[in-house]
Amino acid sequence: MSVGLSVDLLAQVPQLVISGFTRGCIYAIVAVGFSIIYNSTQVINFAQGEFVMIGAVVAAVLLSKTSLLVAFPTAVAAGCLAGAVVALFVLLPLKRASVVSLIIITIGTSIMFRGLAQLLWGEAAIPAPPFTGVVVQGYVEDREFHFLGAYIRAQELWVMGVTALLVVGMHIFFRRTILGQAMRACAINQLGARIVGINVRRMIMASFVMAAGLGAVAGVVVSPVFYAKCNMGTALGLGGFCAAVLGGLGNFAGGVAAGIILGIVESLTGGLLWSDYKDAVAFVILLVILLLRPEGVLRRRAEA
Amino acid sequence: MKDSERRGTHTEKAIPVRKKNLQLLNILPFAVFLACYAFAPRVVNDAQLTTIIYIGIYALLAVGLNLLMGYAGQVSLGHAAFFGVGAYTSGILTAKPIANEVIPGVSAGVGVISAVAALLLLTKPSGWKLAVGISLLVALGWLHNLPNLIPVLCAACAVAVMGIFGLMAKLQWMRTCLSGVVLTLVANLSKWFLKGTLERGSASPWTGLLVGVFLTAVISYLIGSQVLRLKGHYLAMATLAFGIIVEIVFRQWTSVTGGSSDGIFNIPSIQFFSYIPGFLRRLYEAAAGGSVDLRTQYYYLVWAFVFIAIVLAVNIVRSRVGRAFRAVHSSEQAAASLGVDTARYKVQVFVLSACMASVAGTLHAHNAGIGYIHPSEFGFIVSVELVVMVVLGGMASVWGSLFGAAAIQTLKDRLLDLEKTNPEFWGLKLQGLDPIVFGAVLIVVMIVLPQGLVRGFSDGVALLWRSARRSGRQQGVN
C-alpha cells in the first residue's frame, strides 16, 4: 500500500470527510432501524437496506414530477408499507421458525422488493433535484457553501439535519411516549410485557413499520445526493448493519456514532488508499469487526 | 425468544424399517440416476441438453451448500464466491495467463494465504499472536515478491523469522517454522507454475480444476475457521460480506480477472475422452448412440461429478461425521458437551462444500461452446439463488437439492422464454422477473413448508400411510 500521501491527496481530506459524514448519517439511521427491530424480535432484518432504497427511488421518481410536499409523505408511506409486509412475513411463522428460516424469509423479501423496484422503475440510476436548489438554465442546481476547504452542498446539510432530528425524535419517542415505553418493555422481557397487557405482536408490527419509515426518510433525503438505484439497498443495509454491530446491537446512540464514524472511515480509505476497491471497504470493516468484537466496540463490557 | 430456545426445524424420527428394504431403497435412486445419466443424450434435443447441463452445475453447488446449510445448519450467503474462485482460477490458467509483471505479486499472495492457513491449522493461534503471525507472514511474502533476492536466502529468512516468532509467542516453534517453509514452497512453486503456463500459453482444464480446488480449500479454510465461530445472523452477514468482497475483486482486479467490462473469454472446453481407456469410451458411445461430440462429453462429465458429489454426500450424511453435523445443527452446545469437536466439523464441512462449488465453477468456466465468464455470474444474487435451490428441495435432503436445482433452473428458463415474448401487464413491461419470483418462492416455502418440497411431501405421504395403517390395525382389533 505504498501510496504517497501527496499534498493534493491531503487537500481532499475535508471533502472526503464531508461526503463520508453524509453517507455515515444514512448508515446511522439504518443502524437505528436494525436496533429497533432487533430489540423487539431478536431478528436481523436483511431487508433493512431496501427500505432506504424504496424511499429513495419513490422520492426520486416523484420529485421530478411533483413538489417535495407530495413526494416526501408518499415515499415514506411506501417504505412503511414495505415494513408492514416484512413484519407480516416474519410474524406468520415466528413461533416455530428457526433463526435460519427467519434469515431466509427476510432475504426473500429483500430481493423481492429489489426486483419490484427494478420492474417498476428500471435498473438505471434516477436523478432527483435537490430540495432547496436554484434554477440555472432550466436545471435545478444545488447551493454550495464553502467550509474549511471543502464544498458542502445544501442537500448534505439536509441529510445531516434530518438525521439529527430523527435521532432526537427517536430518543424522545422511546423515553416519553406510552407506545415507545411499551416497545422498550417488549425488548426487555416479552413475557413480562404480555403479562402487563401489552400486545406484543402489535409492538413487533409497529417496530418494523417504524424502522422502515426511518429508512425511507433517510432514502428520501439522500436521493438527490446519491443517485437512487434499485440495487443501492444491499450496500447501505450492510453498512448499517456494520454500524449497528460496532455500536452494539440494540444500542441506539452507539449505532448512530458508529454509523457516522464508519461513513467517514470508508470515505477516507476509499478516497486516499484504494479507490478501485472503495466499495469493498465497508465490507472488510464489517468482517473485521464481526471477527474481533462481535459484541460491539462502543458497548460497555458489563452490558454485553 | 433467544436463539438457543428456538429449535432447529430438522427432527429425526426413527421409523423401524426392515433392513433388506432399506438397502433396496438406498440403491434404487442411484440405479435410476445412472440409467438417466447414460441414455439422456439419446432422447433430448440440443436446447434441453443445455438446460440439463446447467441443472448439473447448479446441482453440484446445491448439494455442497446443503451439506453446510441443511445438515450442519450454518447459513452461507457467499457461496457463489467459491464458485467464482474455481471458475476464475481455471479460466485464467487456460485462457488468459497472468502477465509477467503480476506473477511475483500473485505467487507471493498465494504463498502468504497458504502459510497463514498452515499456521492456523498447525498452531491455532488467537488474538495478538494471530495478528503478529499474519503480519510477519505478509512481510515475508513481500520479501519473496522482491525480484533481486536469492530464493535460498528468502527461505532461510522465512524459516528463521517464523521460528523466532514461535519461540517468543510460546507456540510450538517447529510448527511455526513449518508455516515459513509452506510460504517459501508455495510462493516459489506457484511462481514457477505461473511462468510455465505463461510460456506455454495455457494450462490444461484439469490442472485448472486442481489448482482451483487447492486455492478454494485454502481460502475457505481461512475464512471458515474464523467466520464459523459466529452464529445465526452474524454468520449470515459475514458470509454475505465475504461474497460481496470477492465479487468486487473479480470486478476490479482487471489485470488478472479482466474486470467487469471484459470478463474472460475463449476458455477451451474441458474434455475427458482422451484420458479414459478405450472400452469405457466405447461404452459411452454405445450409451449415447453414436459418436460423442464435445457438448455431449461435457454433459457426461458434469453429471459424473454430480453423481460423485451425491454419493459422497449420502455417505457423509450416514456416517459418524454426518451424525455429528446433525448434532451441531440441532444444538451446538449439546453436541459439544457430548464430545463432538463442533468447530472442527463446521470448518470441515465448510471447506468440503466450498471445494464442491469450486469444481462446479471450473466446469462452468469450461462450458463447451460458450467458454466465457463474467463477475455478475458469481454475485450476491447467485448466492441467493443457491439458497433458494437448497430451501426448495429441502434442507437436509441430498436428493432434494437435485430437485431444487432442476426446479429453479427450469423456472429460470421459463421466465426467460416468457420475457422473450415481451409480456405486458397493465402497461408495465415485465422484464427481469427472477428476483421477484425467487423472493416469493423463498418466503412461501419457508412459511408453508420449512422442510422443503421433497421432504414436506414425503413426510405428508408417510403421515397418511401411518394413519391409514393405524386405522387398519384398529379395525382388525375390533
Structural domain count, chain A: 1
Contact between B249 and A280 using a beta-carbon 8 Å cutoff: yes
CB B400 within 8 A of CB B455: yes
For residue A103, being part of any structural domain is answered with yes
Region B218-233: mean pLDDT is 86
Interchain CB contact of B8 with A (< 8 Å): yes
The CATH number of the domain where B268 resides is what? 1.10.3470
Structural domain count, chain B: 1
pLDDT for B355 equals 94
pLDDT for B474 equals 66
For residue A54, being part of any structural domain is answered with yes
> How far is A80 from A78, CA to CA, in rounded Å?
5
Cβ neighbours of A48 in B, within 8 Å = none
Query: In which band, very low, low, confident or very high, does the pLDDT at B352 lie, cut at 50, 70 and 90?
Result: very high
Between B386 and A270, whose confidence is greater? B386
ipTM of predicted complex = 0.82
pLDDT at B12 over 70: no
pLDDT for B75 equals 84
Residue A95: how many CB atoms within 10 A of its CB?
A: 8
Region B145-169: mean pLDDT is 75
Cβ neighbours of A200 in B, within 8 Å = none
| Most confident by average pLDDT, A88-97, A141-150, A295-304, B77-86 | B77-86
For residue A297, being part of any structural domain is answered with no
pLDDT for B356 equals 93
Give percent of chain B with pLDDT exceeding 90: 11
Range of the domain at B317: 3-97+202-421+431-469
pLDDT for A186 equals 81
What is the chain B residue with the closest CA to A242? B237
Chain A nearest CA to B147, separation (Å) = 17
pLDDT at B15 over 70: no
For residue B416, being part of any structural domain is answered with yes
Q: Which three cell numbers stand for residue B50?
A: 443445455
For residue A281, being part of any structural domain is answered with no
Query: In which band, very low, low, confident or very high, does the pLDDT at A135 lie, cut at 50, 70 and 90?
Result: low
pLDDT for B359 equals 93
Contact between B252 and A277 using a beta-carbon 8 Å cutoff: yes
Contact between B447 and A104 using a beta-carbon 8 Å cutoff: no
For residue A250, being part of any structural domain is answered with no
Contact between A115 and B433 using a beta-carbon 8 Å cutoff: yes
For residue A46, being part of any structural domain is answered with yes
Query: In which band, very low, low, confident or very high, does the pLDDT at B104 lie, cut at 50, 70 and 90?
Result: confident
Query: In which band, very low, low, confident or very high, does the pLDDT at A302 lie, cut at 50, 70 and 90?
Result: very low
Range of the domain at A63: 32-245
Give percent of chain B with pLDDT exceeding 70: 91
Query: In which band, very low, low, confident or very high, does the pLDDT at B344 lie, cut at 50, 70 and 90?
Result: confident
Contact between A104 and B438 using a beta-carbon 8 Å cutoff: no
pLDDT for B215 equals 92
- Long-range pairs, B48-53, Cβ under 8 A, ≥24: B49/B295, B49/B296, B49/B299, B51/B409, B51/B410, B51/B413, B52/B299, B52/B303, B53/B298, B53/B299, B53/B302, B53/B367
A14-55 pLDDT, tens per residue?
888 888 888 899 899 999 988 888 887 778 888 888 999 998
B406-433 pLDDT, tens per residue?
988 888 888 888 877 777 776 666 677 7
pLDDT for B22 equals 58
A78-133 pLDDT, tens per residue?
989 989 988 888 777 666 667 778 888 888 899 889 888 888 887 777 777 777 76
Chain B nearest CA to A185, separation (Å) = 14
CB B120 within 8 A of CB B114: no
Interchain CB contact of B331 with A (< 8 Å): no
A173 residue type, one letter: F
pLDDT at B102 over 50: yes
Interchain CB contact of B11 with A (< 8 Å): no
B117 residue type, one letter: A
Reference B325, options B1, B2, B8; nearest CA is: B8
Contact between A115 and B8 using a beta-carbon 8 Å cutoff: no
> How far is B397 from A67, CA to CA, in rounded Å?
54
What residues contact A179, with CB distance under 8 A and at least 6 apart? A173, A206
| Most confident by average pLDDT, A131-135, B201-205, B388-392 | B388-392
